[in-house]
């Protein structure tokens, strides 16, 4: 069966890109990473694509006169490679309604918090400031409003008393690297449906008990 032709859009380090590449290299994967696009020249993630033998393109947003012309270039490139699906992985550009509509239900994002809490930037700093005992990460379909859209996978990460933003980022990233391939594969296997803007995944397993932080 043909694999879902996926592009990953990045702006930086590309650790989630690497997790997606690693997963898609396994035989069981129903998705393949066919293209990586960075809006930042020299982004570290580009090397990860090269090492994996994946085509990459740099489309620098600041060389375009406005968001629309930048996004038209993105879509032209994506269409040129026959891309069917997009994963945003640390892609730090706000997308216009037109782009999001063009890729409706064909574009997902990973965010370093348990949405709808802590949308936007500096999620770990804000979680620590609020004193919440759990944070985590979310993979969701992209909708017009930033950091909204039907949620596909979330992972909870406990916040420890001696955490700082760096230590928390590190543990949340480990969770991200598990969640993103899982979400992409569920979609590629056609197991995800959206009903009333909520994701339903029949026959999926879920943790059966609650857990507290701290524990006894
Ligand atoms: C990840 O933590 C991702 O969740 C976050 O940027 C980081 C990218 O790291 N994305 C956002 O904050 C989007 N709002 P990576 O380049 O190593 O994958």
- In total, the chain counts a number of residues equal to 216
pLDDT along the chain (216 residues), means of 10: 95 98 95 98 98 98 96 98 98 97 98 98 98 98 98 98 98 98 97 98 91 91
Residue of minimum CA distance from atom 12 in ligand 1 = 111
Domain annotation for the chain: domains and CATH numbers: 1-103 (3.40.50.170), 109-207 (3.40.50.170)
pLDDT at 216: 81
CB 89 within 8 A of CB 110: yes
| Atom 10 of ligand 1, residue of closest alpha carbon | 90
Give distance in angstroms: CA of 216 to centre of ligand 1.
33
pLDDT at residue 1 in the model: 81
DSSP 8-state assignment for residue 61: G
Enumerate residues 6+ apart whose C-beta is below 8 A from 160: 167
Question: Residues with catalytic annotation?
Answer: 111
Position in ligand 1 atom list of the atom nearest CA 169: 2
Atom of ligand 1 nearest to the CA of 120: 14
Contacts of 212-216 with CB under 8 Å at 24 or more apart are 212/133, 213/133, 213/134, 213/158, 213/159, 214/133
CA-nearest residue, atom 5 of ligand 1 = 90
Q: Which ligand 1 atom is the nearest neighbour of the CA of 12?
A: 16
Q: Which residues are near ligand 1 (CB < 6 Å)?
A: 10, 12-16, 45, 89-90, 110-112, 173, 176
């Amino acid at each position: 069966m043909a694999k879902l032709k996926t592009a990953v859009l990045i702006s930086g380090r590309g650790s989630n890109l690497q997790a997606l590449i690693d997963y898609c290299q396994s035989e069981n994967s129903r998705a393949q990473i066919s293209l990586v696009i960075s809006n930042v020249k020299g982004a570290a993630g580009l090397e990860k694509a090269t090492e994996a033998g994946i085509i990459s393109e740099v489309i620098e947003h600041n060389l375009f006169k406005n968001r629309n012309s930048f996004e038209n270039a993105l879509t032209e490139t994506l269409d040129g490679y026959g891309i069917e699906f997009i994963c945003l992985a640390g892609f730090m550009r706000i997308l216009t309604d037109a782009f999001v509509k063009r890729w409706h239900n064909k574009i997902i994002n990973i965010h370093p918090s348990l949405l709808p809490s802590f949308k936007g930037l500096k999620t770990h700093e804000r979680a620590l400031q609020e004193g919440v005992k759990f944070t985590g990460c979310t993979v969701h379909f992209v909708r017009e409003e930033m950091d909204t859209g039907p949620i596909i996978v979330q992972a909870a990460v406990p916040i420890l008393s001696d955490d700082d933003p760096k230590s928390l980022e590190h543990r949340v990233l480990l969770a991200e690297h598990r969640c993103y391939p899982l979400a992409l594969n569920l979609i590629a296997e056609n197991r995800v449906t959206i009903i009333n803007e909520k994701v339903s995944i029949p026959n999926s397993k879920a943790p059966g008990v609650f857990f507290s932080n701290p524990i006894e």
